[in-house]
Amino acid sequence: MNAHKEISFYPISDVVIIKDLFTEIFLIRTNKGFIAIDSGFHDAIIRKGLAYNNIQPDDVKAVFITHSDIDHQNAAEVFTKAHFYFPKKEIEMIANKIPRLSYFPFIRNSVRLKRNTTVDDNDSLWIDNLNVKCISLPGHTLGSMGYIIDGKYLFSGDAFKIKNGKIAVPNLKLFVMDLNEMKKSMEKVCKLKGVQYIYTSHSGFTADFPSAISK
């Protein structure tokens, strides 16, 4: 369960990384269990990753979904005891049947989440001893959400990629719903204070936040 090759420094012991077929999910240790960022795509791979790290699915108390793309939430049923948190604007996108990509109008995201609560920009929640702050990072999808844990770990989903240690627009702009909004989201991240780590879903992570946001 290794991180992507773009990593800078080594992961910390409080964050477990599980590599799925198309993405990575993250589990952050609390004083009573774990918080997950996204649930991944393939049930069997996620279960194997949990077992490898000696984590039971029921140890995960909360799952924070970054956006509604299938590779980030298809394996939700693995976490039978978890409460799910889902970006409010993603729900609106699904309810209004907004196409995921305008040039593929037949592609529309959907979710089958149970026990879910919608979250919005700047919402702040406590899960056990950890604080989770929600930060809206639209662009990849209309309601993409990032999550800042304890003020220092930013889990950004697909809001941008890390290339050569710096945040950047993905090469495959095909999958970006609104490129201008993505650039605004990156500018928003550059203004954050106190963050030390950025974990992306497809391009690894960095422990050097100042360098990642430098021009």
Predicted confidence (pLDDT) per residue in 69-102, tens digit: 989 999 999 999 999 999 999 988 888 788 776 5
Pure H helices in the chain: 43-52, 70-73, 88-95, 179-190, 209-213
Sign, CA dihedral 45-9-214-148, equals positive
Query: 197: buried, middle or exposed (CB in 10 Å: 19+, 13-18, 0-12)?
Result: buried
Nearest-angstrom CA–CA distance, 76 and 113:
7
131: tokens are 């604080």
Q: Is the pLDDT of residue 57 over 90?
A: yes
Question: Selecting from 3.90.190.20, 3.40.1080.10, 3.60.15.10, 3.40.50.2300, what CATH number does the domain 15-213 have?
Answer: 3.60.15.10
Percent of the chain with pLDDT strictly greater than 90: 77
Q: Band of the pLDDT at 160, cuts 50, 70, 90?
A: very high
Amino acid 30: pLDDT:
94
* 15-19 vs 24-29, strand pairing mode: antiparallel
